[in-house]
Structure 1
Amino acid sequence: MLARYLPVLAWGRSYNRQTLVNDGVAAGIVTIMLIPQSLAYAMLAGLPPEVGLYASILPIIAYAIFGTSRTLAVGPVAVISLMTLAAAGSVAPPGSAEFIAAALVLAFLSGLMLVLMGVLKLGFLANLLSHPVVSGFITASGIIIATSQLKSILGVGASGEAMPELLATLWQNIGTTNLPTVAIGVGSLAFLFWVRKGLKPALMRLGVPARPADLTAKAGPIAAVVASTLAVIAFDLEERGVKVVGEIPQSLPPFTVPLFDPGLWQQLLVPALLLSVIGFVESVSVAQTLAAKRRQRIDPDQELIGLGAANIAASFSGGYPVTGGFARSVVNFDAGAETPAAGAMTAVGIAIAALFLTPLLASLPIATLAATIIVAVLSLVNFAAIRNVWRYSRADFAAMAATILVTLGFGVEPGVVAGVLLSLALLLWRTSRPHAAIVGRVPNTEHFRNVDRHDVITDPRIVTIRIDESLTYLNARWLEEHVLEVVADRPEVRHLILMGSAINAIDASALESLEAINHRLADAGIKLHLSEVKGPVMDRLRASRLLGDLTGRIFLSQDNAFAALVSSADDEGVEPRDDPWLARGLI
């Protein structure tokens, strides 16, 4: 029971020297990558840069204790940083003491919600957000984040949470562009894009093995940080208007207590919930993908507790909301991390950097951090997914496109709300109008298929409807209308079979509809039969009066039902009319 809530007790039993070495190597590489990212994402969130370092220490350790993924790297991420800026910015100016206090409260509320959801085993709620909607939201957020960082690349002022405002303020201030800043920003962008795409092939051509070449390329941002910092110092670019990070306190994370202000908590409650849901969906998607590659598994409910513990730890250590990051997790995986201990070692590395290396970062240009963010978030922009969804499902594309447009036009919080509502609306719409097919028997087999897709054997006195969805209050009325419409178009029908092979549940509303269908068909001289009803569904039906009132029979298989009812209709002397699909000799 203890290991259920403390996964560290499970993987810790088999920890050995080789695992320690592998975790240590991965931790070193991720630490190098995480230092500039932590600074950049904190500034994206409107917070002092050291807050990014603080959010990368205790939260990682908390997740290592409570999380189930062996390779997920927890910390500040771009989308959550942008959502933090939007939420905390609604109650205080970015960078102010009140803003920082709001960020701590956001982390605390988010952590409490995640832990509560995990204890109540509500991990399945993440499934309410469809993948196209999540993909659309992340794509739109990536575009907004990249656009918001152009002000730092150009050295101009700009503000806004949505694209129209961002573009308008950028255009208004374009005349104040700082050329040295542009040189550093554009140079860093070009270098980082080349590192991402071209450094690995170049190293491999020089004889470097694939894995070291890949890991070296992923550590490329450190080279940009070092080169641009040296350029600022050597050419005294700060005096020429290049904005730098400035002094960063040399210290471990402070002990902080989230402000208990009922009014503030009420204002941040909904943003914290949205942030929790998006953070969990992003994190669990990465964790499941990486776990599958090693034939491991994660527990979504325990992941909620792990991420909740990480956010609570962030709120008590001067941080802000965190979640599992895609890029860092992939690097952690590729570098050979075997257990969450690699994350704990990364936290130690960040703590050492916070204590001893921050003076070296004082002259780091903000333009370089902006370039780091842009390169990182543009990997989230997936136009291919938009094209694929368009080809596959127009309904999913409509939900995806609406999420993108709302996010771009009005900001991340309206985008999240729109995404949730559209996902639910799409689910309800599909459930309320399930696919149903009239089926017939495939010649020389016992299989029954859609008459509109196959040449099958049918009998005009018998109609079989296969419902490809559970029957609930959402589609109960539709079921009545559909069945009555089918028999109205077929005056020769004497038997109607509901084929239940795809029905996994029937709720009380649908049961009442079935009873109504049974009585209405009886009034029309038609018997209602059921076939291939699943065991759990039959168990529920036995507790109802439907089976006692049923005018027809219940058949184990559709083939038995069809054969028996054809014979019954023959015995009743009801002659079939001409039917182009009828082949009586094969029955």
Structure 2
Amino acid sequence: MPGLNVLFNYERQWFADDAKAALSVAAVALPVAIAYAQLTGVNAAVGLYSCVLPMIIYALFGTSKQLIVGPDAATCAVIAAVVTPLAAGDIVKHWQLVITMTAMTGFWCIIASRFKLGVLADFLSKPILMGLLNGVAITIIVGQFSKVFGFTFDEKYLLERLGGVPEYLSQAHVPTLLMALLTVSIYFAMKRIKPTWPASMFAIAFGAMLVWGFNLEQFDIKTIGIVDGGLPLFKAPDFNVGIIRELVMPALNLAIVSFVSMMLTARSFAAKNGYDIDADKEFMALGIANFASALSQGFAVSGADSRTAVNDANGGKTQLVSIIAAVIIAIIAIFLTAPLEFIPSAALGVVLIIASVHLLDLKSVWKLRLKDRQAFYLTLTTLFAVLFIGVIPGITLAVLLGLFQFIRTVMRPTDHILGMDINGVVRSLDTSDKAKPIDGIFIYRFNSPLTYFNSSFFKRRLLEQYARQKDDIECVIIDAVPCFTHLDLSVMAMLADLNVIFQKRGVRLEIAGRKRQLLAWFVNAEIKSGSEGIYVHSDLYLALRINQAKQLAAKEVQEAKEQEEQDKQEENTSSL
């Protein structure tokens, strides 16, 4: 529990800032948690339960001092997309499936932590995540229009919903729309008057007071209804166990996306405040937090960037912020849920739309067009996949794109021909002409680990690059450091073939670097080394010195022979 170390060494002067930040975080988290509960399709109290234990657990197990965990727009959209068709309108079954998927997400995170897979934080590239979050944001915004305008979507997918917009607008419920407009007005008025105050909370509270004071339900303005507060009671899921199979892969996708999104937030604030975080421990913390949420009848959580930003902006110093905020939310969830039933659904829809608008960053997507055209196309592919085929298939495609991007980089990496500059430093040959080729020696570097699926490409590229050289090449040296990282018998077989090819051409094949490792692998693969096979040197500079010494020795021998022949010719001439 890394957080315990901070709490045991807590300094008294931090408490004022932490308490202030905790109040602000709780004020922002309350309306958002209720709104995300509506998005997930469960009771408002479930959103509050999803904040309390996960925040406390993360404060103990997490390594970020600023990160706040809780319900997240993308996480809730994924859960709703998976669970809604499986529940088939059964409210209790829907809730139980949400809890089950949350527990499975936690399970995947803990397994990943045990196998040290924190490296998955870099698995989904930034362009893919940008496309994913923008797609999810647009999906949520369109979905919440039904609450704002007071109608119900009959279609499941975004395109069909957009196609029916004219008809749906004709069904708009005026009182509901007026409530939504009032919520928007209060929100932006608060942002203008008191930018640091929780505008969402004030807007929702104002709408609830109007509903309660003027009995606006008589005008068919929908509210979230009765909120069953109190302590959450654990209930084992009661449905066909076979349905769990439908949740396995979506839960894995959700675990990856939640973790990657959380790490982006955690790393940015850790860098800003001058400390490091441990990716593997973060995976464990996220897993235990999701387990805690499931046990307290909540839904899946992730790193909440907006609440983390509020924490940092208000001077939060330590994980105590999460604990204080969780206690405040717990008190409301247990004792003060009665007023929540008057919250208008239209107001929650507005809050979700505003939160989703903050997720949108189409300007950055467009800028990628100029910076990196390949990244731009990757972002658009993910974005349109989420919009056109749905959130879950879109996330699956995003994960596959990340995997294919990695495989493509490994299978078709860059390579370099090396030379030497005037200071005797080995460097790549390029258009700058800072380095020159070494007479009689060809040095090749392959910028990826060699394995069975890129060994043929390595062989082809090496022979292609060699064919472009002058005919005086006596030795081919492979830089082993970047490419020979592990034993692969397919690679060893390819290396043996290369040696045969070069031997027929009268060229020595040598490898520089990882000498002890490579000699052991040669024994396993029954490849000869030294004068009878492939030369292996400790490093590149040693290989060059030895070969240059051989060249010098050969030159001296050649000069001696020429001198000897010249002397013989002179002797013959004088005798004649």
Normalising by the smaller structure, the TM-score range is 0.7 to 0.9
Pairing 1:391-470 to 2, within 5 Å after superposition: 391-454=370-433, 456-458=435-437, 461-470=440-449
Q: Which amino acid aligns with 2:103?
A: F
Q: Which amino acid aligns with 1:284?
A: M
Q: Which amino acid aligns with 1:389?
A: L
Which of 26, 35, 39 pairs up with 1:40?
Answer: 35
Q: 2:478: which partner in 1? A: 498
Is 1:25 equivalent to 2:39 in the alignment? no
**Secondary structure of the corresponding residue to residue 57 of structure 1:** helix
Gaps in structure 1 of 5+ consecutive residues: 1-5, 204-212, 575-587
Pairing 1:7-406 to 2, within 5 Å after superposition: 7-93=2-88, 96-160=91-155, 162-192=157-187, 199=192, 215-216=196-197, 219-259=198-238, 261-406=240-385
Q: 2:495: which partner in 1? A: 514
**C-alpha distance in 2, partners of 1:187/1:571?**
94
Shift of 1:399: 2.5
Deviations, residues 401-460 of structure 1 (Å, cap 9, x unaligned): 211111111111101110111111111111111111223333455242223453642256
Percent of residue pairs identical = 27
Are the equivalent residues in 2 in contact too, given 1:162–1:407 (CA < 8 A)? no
Are the equivalent residues in 1 in contact too, given 2:188–2:199 (CA < 8 A)? no
Shift of 1:347: 1.6
Shift of 1:44: 0.6
Query: Does 124-133 or 71-80 show the bigger shift?
Result: 124-133
**C-alpha distance in 2, partners of 1:382/1:536?**
51
Shift of 1:317: 1.6
Shift of 1:153: 1.3
**C-alpha distance in 2, partners of 1:396/1:358?**
47
CA RMSD, Structure 1 to Structure 2 (Å):
2.8
Shift of 1:500: 4.0
Q: Which amino acid aligns with 2:19?
A: G
Are the equivalent residues in 2 in contact too, given 1:527–1:551 (CA < 8 A)? yes
Shift of 1:194: 6.3
1:351/1:487 CA distance change after superposition, 3 Å? closer
- Provide TM-score, normalisation by structure 2: 0.88
Is 1:529 equivalent to 2:510 in the alignment? yes
Shift of 1:51: 1.3
1:434/1:453 CA distance change after superposition, 3 Å? farther
**C-alpha distance in 2, partners of 1:307/1:42?**
19
1:436/1:124 CA distance change after superposition, 3 Å? same
Shift of 1:536: 7.9
Query: Does 430-439 or 482-491 show the bigger shift?
Result: 482-491
**C-alpha distance in 1, partners of 2:185/2:551?**
75
Count of paired positions: 552
1:160/1:308 CA distance change after superposition, 3 Å? farther
- Provide TM-score, normalisation by structure 1: 0.86
Q: Which amino acid aligns with 2:436?
A: I
Query: Does 494-503 or 538-547 show the bigger shift?
Result: 538-547
Q: Which amino acid aligns with 2:330?
A: A
**C-alpha distance in 1, partners of 2:256/2:523?**
39
**C-alpha distance in 1, partners of 2:64/2:307?**
14
**C-alpha distance in 2, partners of 1:299/1:90?**
37
Q: Which amino acid aligns with 1:173?
A: Y
**C-alpha distance in 2, partners of 1:36/1:96?**
22
**C-alpha distance in 1, partners of 2:384/2:43?**
31
Shift of 1:79: 0.7
1:515/1:390 CA distance change after superposition, 3 Å? farther
Are the equivalent residues in 1 in contact too, given 2:492–2:522 (CA < 8 A)? no
Q: Which amino acid aligns with 1:495?
A: C
**Secondary structure of the corresponding residue to residue 530 of structure 1:** strand
**Secondary structure of the corresponding residue to residue 368 of structure 2:** helix
1:569/1:259 CA distance change after superposition, 3 Å? farther
Query: Does 182-191 or 557-566 show the bigger shift?
Result: 557-566
Deviations, residues 261-307 of structure 1 (Å, cap 9, x unaligned): 42122121111111111111112221222222222222222222222
Are the equivalent residues in 1 in contact too, given 2:519–2:529 (CA < 8 A)? no
Larger radius of gyration: 2
Are the equivalent residues in 2 in contact too, given 1:33–1:221 (CA < 8 A)? yes
